[in-house]
Each structure stands twice: as C-alpha cells, then as structure tokens.
C-alpha cells in the first residue's frame, strides 16, 4: 500500500536585491515602469507542493508515488527525488515544455516580486489515477493546474481512494460549485486560516459546515499552531519551539502535510498526527528552500518530546521503537 501525491513539481529560482524596491521605482511612473534590480545572490531550489510533500514523506521512510507533469529540463530534479526514494514512475515529461518555474526577487525589507511559468503543468490532466496499478492507502490532491485538479479529484473519488483536498493557491481558480464538489468527494481537507475564509466567502462553507462533510478538517494557523476537527472533537496542536532561528518558511505547509499523510496511513490518532506534522514543519523552517531539510526518527522523537512533553510513538523498526 502506498501514498499517492498529485500536483505541481517545479523549480524555484530566487534572487536577493540588497536595497529597497522603492529606491528604483517611481510611484507616479508605474504605468511605464522599466528597471533592473541588481541581484548579487541567486539560488535555485527543487519545489512545487507535490515534490515538497513527497520529499518529506521519503524522509519518513515512505516510498510515495509522485504524479505530475514536467518539462524536458527535469533530469536533475528526477535524480534528486530518486536519490531520496520517491517513486517517479508517473512523473510525465511533456516534450517541448519546461518544468513549471517560479522566479522571485526579494528586497532588504522582505518585499517580493514573483513570476510563475506553468509550462508542463498545463498538461497535468494527461496523467490518470487509473494508470497507477499499486494499491493506494491515501492520496493528496495538491495544487497542480485547475484541469488536473478537477480531473484527479473525480478520478480518486471514482476509484474509492480517500484523499486530502489541499487547495492552496489553486483555490482562487475554482468556482463555488467546484469547491463544493471537491469537498463532497474528499475524505480530508487541509487549509490555512486565510483559505478557510476564502472558502467561506466564495462557496458559503463555514468551518462547521466543512467539518461535517469530511473525516477530518485541518486548519493551520501559522505561529499559533493548528487545529484538527475530527470525530466530533477539536484537537488544538500547539506550535513547536525550535532552538534554531527560523530561516525560510517556503515549503513549511507541504512538510506539515507529509506528517498528516503519514499519520493517516499508519492510523495514528489525530493529536499525535498533528504534533508530528508540526514538528516536521518546524524543522523545515530552519533551512533555506523547501527540500533542503533533513531529519530521522531520532531527531523527530527528541523534538516531539521537548515540545510536547510526551514520547512520540515510533513505528516498528525505527530508532527507539
């Protein structure tokens, strides 16, 4: 049995501008802006929500099945995923296309300008859930293009595979009817507090209405931790206090979702699942980029104990189990 991860797999190219954007932008000339920001530092990261989730699942000892569409420039990323044990059989290369690319530049005040090229992601619906011959315990539907998002939700539901609806940045592209349709099909819903408000405003679904439609509703609230609504209970998951300072939040939510999927697949109770997910997300924040953090079960157990005052139930075969 396996975990299926559907969604975008992308490259993130990030630049740093050591001054402030407004030092080179004239507010009264925005209608004809033309300028260049000198960026002395640049880094290229492996990213995309599906790739990020699969990476952290592999760190947990899983062999997640990754499904997505990429371009002809994907070879270095594929090698990286295979090295960590991600199953890439259903990562399809689209001829003549680039892998989705995000380009961002940040100034000294933390302001950001971003550009995104979807590339091969526009062909994500060329993958089908029925193509996967493996038995799948649970899947996650993460952002990866509107057409693929809708198609895969319907295919997962038709196949009887329980899945996590993780709308993320796809949410503004979905109509009210489409949001309601996917919520009805999903077994689990994972959103942040902003997305919960957007769903309420766009589809008229309050938290109470959402929790009544799924097995579990997970709402992350940044530095305030998370809430899990399941089995007529609300599990409050406090934040994790790290000794190391936070460096980069990019990919934190995806690392958290890897913990959720692990807990669901292995039948952990929701309090333990949420705490494990929080620990993984906290570890990620201490590293630059969404796929540069490392952990093992010994590290997870130590941080879990320090944060929550309880032993982490370790799976058989792991350190301390």
Under 8 Å between Cβ of 150 and 122: no
Under 8 Å between Cβ of 286 and 245: yes
Q: Select which of 12, 88, 107, 254 is catalytic.
A: 254
CA-based radius of gyration for the chain = 20
Under 8 Å between Cβ of 7 and 68: yes
Instruction: Quickly list H helices, 112-251.
Output: 146-158, 176-185, 193-203, 207-211
Under 8 Å between Cβ of 163 and 139: yes
**Separation between Cα atoms, residue 264 and residue 188, nearest integer Å:** 10
Rounded to 10 degrees, the C-alpha dihedral 103/65/272/309 comes to -60
**Separation between Cα atoms, residue 293 and residue 263, nearest integer Å:** 20
**What are phi and psi for residue 90, nearest 5 degrees?**
-110, 25
296-301 long-range contacts, CB within 8 A, separation 24+: 296/59, 297/61, 297/321, 300/276
Residue 87 forms beta bridges with which residues?
A: 65
**Separation between Cα atoms, residue 12 and residue 241, nearest integer Å:** 28
254 is catalytic: yes
Q: Which residues are catalytic?
A: 254
């Amino acid at each position: 049995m396996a975990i299926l991860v559907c969604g975008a797999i992308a490259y993130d190219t990030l630049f740093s501008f050591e001054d402030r954007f407004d030092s080179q932008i004239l507010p009264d000339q925005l209608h004809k802006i033309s300028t260049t920001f000198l960026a002395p530092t640049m880094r290229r990261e492996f990213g995309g929500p599906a790739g990020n989730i699969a990476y952290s699942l592999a760190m947990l000892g899983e062999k997640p099945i990754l499904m997505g569409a990429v371009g002809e420039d994907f070879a270095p990323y594929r090698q990286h995923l295979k090295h960590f044990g991600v199953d890439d059989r259903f990562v399809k290369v689209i001829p003549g296309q680039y892998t989705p690319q995000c380009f961002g530049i940040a100034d000294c005040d933390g302001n950001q300008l971003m550009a995104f090229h979807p590339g091969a992601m526009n062909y994500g619906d060329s993958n089908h859930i029925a193509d996967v011959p493996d038995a799948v315990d649970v899947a996650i539907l993460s952002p990866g293009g509107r057409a693929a998002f809708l198609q895969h939700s319907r295919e997962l539901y038709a196949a009887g595979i329980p899945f996590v609806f993780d709308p993320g940045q796809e949410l503004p592209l979905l109509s009210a009817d489409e949001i309601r349709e996917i919520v009805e099909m999903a077994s689990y819903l994972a959103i942040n507090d902003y997305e919960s408000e957007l769903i309420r405003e766009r589809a008229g679904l309050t938290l109470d209405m959402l929790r009544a439609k799924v097995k579990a509703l997970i709402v992350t609230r940044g530095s305030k931790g998370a809430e899990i609504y399941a089995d007529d209970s609300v599990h409050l998951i406090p934040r994790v206090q790290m000794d190391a300072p936070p460096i980069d939040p990019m990919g934190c939510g995806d690392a958290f979702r890897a913990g959720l999927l692990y807990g669901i697949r292995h039948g952990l109770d929701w309090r333990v699942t949420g705490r494990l997910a929080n620990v993984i997300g906290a570890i990620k924040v201490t590293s630059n980029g969404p796929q540069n953090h490392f952990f093992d079960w010994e590290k997870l157990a130590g941080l879990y104990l320090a944060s929550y005052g309880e032993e982490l139930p370790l799976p058989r075969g792991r350190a301390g189990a």
